[in-house]
Structure 1
């Protein structure tokens, strides 16, 4: 498999990395459980929720323009959602918040050279804000709101881990082309990852690892494979029945209905 995949591909995994991955799999599972149990509560009460589609679109556009990763995009949206859920932000300050969320996410997900500068992002919004506002808000979010704890909070982080075992030898028995399966699956997963940040409820109603497992199942279905395998069940510790509701919503591109709020 390694020879078919470029070194910079999301699918590329060196043998030494793979050996370490197998050795520390149980440790990773334990980390997943601990992280998900300590996730902050989401109250579905953002006063500025109707601005969210614009803000997510704004962050997405910058990530695309700057070639920032999906991990960066999803983490930025997560930080934005959590902060808006517990604060009343005047509309004039929302772009400042979006920019700071993106800077924070990039510091966790990107190489130093790719982290956007405050002045760079401020220029995109016509230099509306003093640079000191960026510094103060990032300090507040990092230390007081998240208490330095925003890692591994999004489904995308688990998706890329679970993807390492999305394929089995049985999947190739029907003469399917390996290269085609890899790239079709990657495209399908990318579509579902885009879907879950468009709707605030996907990332808030479901645990990240469960949502990630459902995305893997939906992606397999999209490319004509059975949704789930014993291999994936062992890795994720989810049975296919655990994922049915989410997979159905993803495949049918449903907008989730939430009992906690009236935003759809």
Structure 2
């Protein structure tokens, strides 16, 4: 069965998608419904669904805000320079040009030392068995259940340990600085929480994968770790980061016009594309990074968790995206292990089994501090000003796992 399709079918599919998006916009404009725009980000709590466009800020055609901040000329983005990092690069050795006559001399001398292939003996000792001789002895092999085709393709059990070890190394290289907000002069942790809360709504509106949301937050935090951003451009950073993550993760990512549309046309397509280019340069094009979502999903598969336990673990994991001050200091795999353990505790299961300890290479003591922070977050989720994640997991799709009347958190911390 072929999965390829002709150019005419692809053009027809693309035209239908564009016509559907255009009709949706016309219906929304005719009915007077509001877009999923964030509006002006301040330290105040965002009131839903009021999302007006930014006012009082003049943008030129390149998206540069005019005005002055802190008595200096307004620059939307400023590069952070660490004082303790040496600015000089190590000197590179100068390679000498290769002389052609030396190459010819080396080749000729090598050919003289090589024996002709026809005169080389095939086997000197007759007692040595040929490697092509088949072993005809019959061995009793224990019958094992054959792995399903899906398990072989998606989990690659032969390389599972090597893949996990490699991702544990990669998460150390591609992580944000936990204290980057101290260097930001015009944005705060509260503004970041409002932005992430809005991005959760956007991901639900466009039915994006959970991994796309986690990649988006990773790009935002890593970008803000290296660049000082003004609050008027924070939403642009978030929209461009999700656009980039969707192009990497989704099969059919939303068009760039959709990300300009959800900002209530506060930014143009050109501004989103220019911001995407800037993010890629700052991140050095390292967009394939392991996230806490991948680790948590792997841990849940290894312990064969049921659907409710899986939903609760993912709810706890997404709740860590809002609070950067608490959870950026932990590795993604540590946060995933704490979420899995707390979800099993809340469901009345054994918190951490020997199988989980073996596959994760973590003991409870390795993530105990993160576990206690996560338990506090779990108990206070219904009081959090940002409720997009809680509303998402109150739906029937996730078994209403965020409804504390049905699934209350444990009365006390298990550890």
Q: TM-score, normalised by structure 1?
A: 0.79
1:43-122 equivalence runs, <5 A: 44-46=179-181, 47=184, 48-49=187-188, 50-111=190-251, 113=252, 115-122=253-260
Q: Which residue of the partner structure matches residue 145 of structure 1?
A: 282
Q: Which residue of the partner structure matches residue 295 of structure 2?
A: 158
Matched, 1:225 2:357: no
Query: Is the 8 Å Cα contact of residues 72 and 110 (structure 1) preserved in structure 2?
Result: yes
Q: CA deviation at 1:147?
A: 1.4
Q: RMSD between aligned alpha carbons? A: 2.0
Query: Is the 8 Å Cα contact of residues 210 and 243 (structure 1) preserved in structure 2?
Result: yes
Query: Is the 8 Å Cα contact of residues 295 and 332 (structure 2) preserved in structure 1?
Result: yes
Unaligned runs of 5+ in 2: 1-146, 380-415
Measured in 1, the distance between the counterparts of 2:352 and 2:257 equals 46
The SS at the match of 2:180 is: coil
Q: Which residue of the partner structure matches residue 169 of structure 2?
A: 34
Q: CA deviation at 1:41?
A: 4.8
Measured in 2, the distance between the counterparts of 1:25 and 1:209 equals 15
The SS at the match of 1:88 is: strand
Deviations 1:82-118 (A, max 9, x none): 222332222222221111011111122211x2x1222
Measured in 1, the distance between the counterparts of 2:316 and 2:148 equals 29
Q: CA deviation at 1:35?
A: 0.2
Q: CA deviation at 1:206?
A: 0.9
Q: Which residue of the partner structure matches residue 195 of structure 1?
A: 319
The SS at the match of 2:163 is: helix
Measured in 1, the distance between the counterparts of 2:331 and 2:374 equals 15
Measured in 1, the distance between the counterparts of 2:361 and 2:178 equals 28
Q: CA deviation at 1:251?
A: 2.2
Measured in 2, the distance between the counterparts of 1:34 and 1:146 equals 17
Measured in 2, the distance between the counterparts of 1:43 and 1:135 equals 28
Q: Which residue of the partner structure matches residue 377 of structure 2?
A: 253
- Kindly tell me the number of residue pairs found equivalent between the two proteins: 226
For residues 217 and 58 of structure 1, do their structure 2 counterparts lie closer, same or farther at Cα, with a shift above 3 Å needed? same
